[in-house]
Amino acid sequence: MMPRHSIKTGLSFGLTSAIITTLGLMVGLHSGTHSKLVVIGGILIIAIADAFSDALGIHMSEESENIHSTKEIWEATIATFFAKFIFASTFIIPLLLFPLNTAIIVSIMYGLILLSLFSLYMAKGQGEKPWKVIAEHLVIAVIVIMLTHYIGEWIGTLCNL
């Protein structure tokens, strides 16, 4: 059974946002601080604040389309919140199990695998070539990871001035 459009919208947005935002934050904070505690704190903040923010964003977006019922809007809102909160929170696990540098690498691999699997699911559902959809999404994720790494390093050097 396929999930309803509203739930599918919330889950897909929440999952994707959780992966990209959390990886970007983790990599940037790691590069700038090299502190496991700071990275864990950042993940917790993202899991809460950004989950609410994304949920409200989906809520308002769905409302603005003026085609969804109140129930559908709230389903998308709640699905977005829980997908973002749960998936962002899972990135804490590698930090609890491994040294910081290893945890960052494990988290990047975990995030890219999750994104690839979700992209594969999406591509199959849309009748698209999976490799194109996966490649497109992975390229975006890698760009975010690289940019946040260098921004984190740059901010780290500013702190040492």
Tokens of 132: 């194109």
Residue with tokens 């700038």, as numbered in its chain: 32
Domain ranges of the chain: 5-159
What three-state secondary structure class fits 98? Answer: coil
Buried b vs exposed e over 19-44: b needs ≥16 C-beta within 10 Å? bbbbbbbbbbbbbbbeebeebbebbe
DSSP for residue 91: T
Among 86, 111, 140, 83, residue whose Cα is nearest residue 26: 111
Q: Check whether 9 has a pLDDT greater than 90.
A: no
Chain-centre distance for alpha carbon 138: 12
Decide: helix, strand or coil at residue 1. Answer: coil
Q: What is the pLDDT of residue 1?
A: 54
Long-range contacts of 123-129 (CB under 8 A, 24+ apart): none
Q: What is the pLDDT of residues 56-90, one digit of tens each?
A: 999 999 999 999 899 999 999 999 999 999 999 99
Q: Note the pLDDT tens digit of each residue in 40-54.
A: 999 999 999 999 999
Single out the residue of 152, 117, 107, 159 nearest to residue 138, CA to CA. 117
Query: pLDDT (tens digit, 9 = 90+) per residue, 132-158?
Result: 999 999 999 999 999 999 999 999 988
> By C-alpha distance, which of 142, 150, 160, 158 is closest to 31?
150
Cα separation, 67 vs 41, whole angstroms = 39
> E-assigned strands of 32-153?
none
